[in-house]
């Protein structure tokens, strides 16, 4: 069940957002005037065929890729025109991101990967950060794997570490780009449930890019993209 705060400003507001990138044969127009908003506590799926602009929309919304034109307001802050350092400051401690390919630091253990999120956000360091990370990994069923490196973990385990890392800061908004795309069905369901549980417990909005109809159907709302435009 959706628990949006209808009278509060949206955590994400997109107005006529475009994205064009230079390709081998000239400019490629990826997003062609996207409008929409995400409310606090809302769980939203972004769907569409390959090449429709799903992952690009997430990247622009999270400030990972600059929009070519339009307005992107994340947690009330306009992102267009900000420097990399300014964008990082907007996200710090407020935005969690889960990637399809996990993006764990290979030279750090599961515990260190999760603790680093707290340290980067200036929430905790040292022993308090490690203890919080241990508890977060226990919540995702990996209390027995805290000293293992990413190369020693299965794909499903790596993605659970990534979920713990993204949610330990208690973000206001969680972005997840195909979080179950590289996982088998059982591992995918586990990761889905962990993301939904974290979002609902923390009152965070969750934006999921997915090609899986069952995952999209479990969300509060679906934004369908087609050729860089919102189809529905």
CA-only gyration radius of the chain, Å: 17
Q: How confident is the model at residue 219, as a pLDDT?
A: 97
In a domain, 143, yes or no: yes
Confidence at residue 6, expressed as pLDDT on a 0 to 100 scale: 53
Give 72's strand partners: 14
For residue 27, is it within any domain?
no
* pLDDT value at residue 1: 40
- Look at residue 188 and give its three-state secondary structure: helix
Whichever domain contains 182, its CATH number is 3.40.50.300
- Residue 71 within a domain: no
Q: Quick one: which of 221, 230, 223 has its CA closest to 4?
A: 221
**pLDDT of amino acid 24:** 85
Q: pLDDT averaged over consecutive 10-residue blocks of the chain (232 residues)?
A: 62 97 89 96 96 95 97 97 95 95 96 97 96 96 97 96 96 96 90 95 96 95 95 80
Residue 106 falls inside a structural domain:
yes
Residue 147 lies in a domain: yes
Q: Does 115 fall in a domain?
A: yes
- CB contact at 8 A, 40 and 202: no
Residue range of the domain that includes 224: 42-63+93-230
Burial of 103-130, coded b for 16+ CB within 10 Å and e otherwise, reads: ebeeeebbbbbbbbbbeebebbeeeebb
Q: Is residue 145 part of a domain?
A: yes
Q: Is residue 125 part of a domain?
A: yes
Number of domains the chain is built from? 1
Q: Alpha helix (H) ranges present in the chain?
A: 54-61, 84-91, 110-120, 126-139, 155-167, 185-202, 213-217
């Amino acid at each position: 069940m959706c628990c949006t705060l209808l009278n509060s400003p949206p955590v994400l507001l997109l107005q006529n957002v475009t994205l064009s990138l230079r390709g081998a044969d000239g400019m490629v127009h990826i997003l062609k005037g996207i409008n929409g908003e995400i409310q606090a506590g809302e769980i939203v799926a972004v769907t569409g065929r390959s090449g429709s602009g799903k992952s690009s929309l997430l990247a622009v919304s999270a400030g990972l890729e600059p929009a070519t034109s339009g307005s992107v307001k994340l947690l009330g802050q306009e992102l267009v025109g900000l420097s990399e350092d300014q964008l990082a400051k907007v996200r710090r401690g407020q935005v969690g991101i889960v990637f399809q390919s996990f993006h764990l630091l290979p030279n750090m253990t599961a515990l260190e990967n999760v603790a680093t999120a707290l340290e980067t956000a200036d929430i905790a360091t040292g022993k308090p950060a490690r203890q919080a990370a241990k508890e977060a990994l226990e919540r995702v069923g990996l209390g027995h794997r805290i000293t293992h490196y990413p190369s020693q973990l299965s794909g499903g385990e790596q993605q659970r570490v990534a979920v713990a890392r993204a949610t330990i800061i208690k973000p206001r908004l969680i972005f997840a780009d195909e979080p179950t795309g590289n996982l088998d069905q059982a591992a995918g369901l586990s990761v889905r449930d962990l993301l939904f549980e974290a979002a609902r417990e923390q009152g965070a909005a969750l934006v999921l890019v997915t090609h899986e109809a069952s995952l999209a159907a479990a969300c509060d709302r679906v934004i369908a993209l087609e050729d860089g435009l919102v189809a529905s």
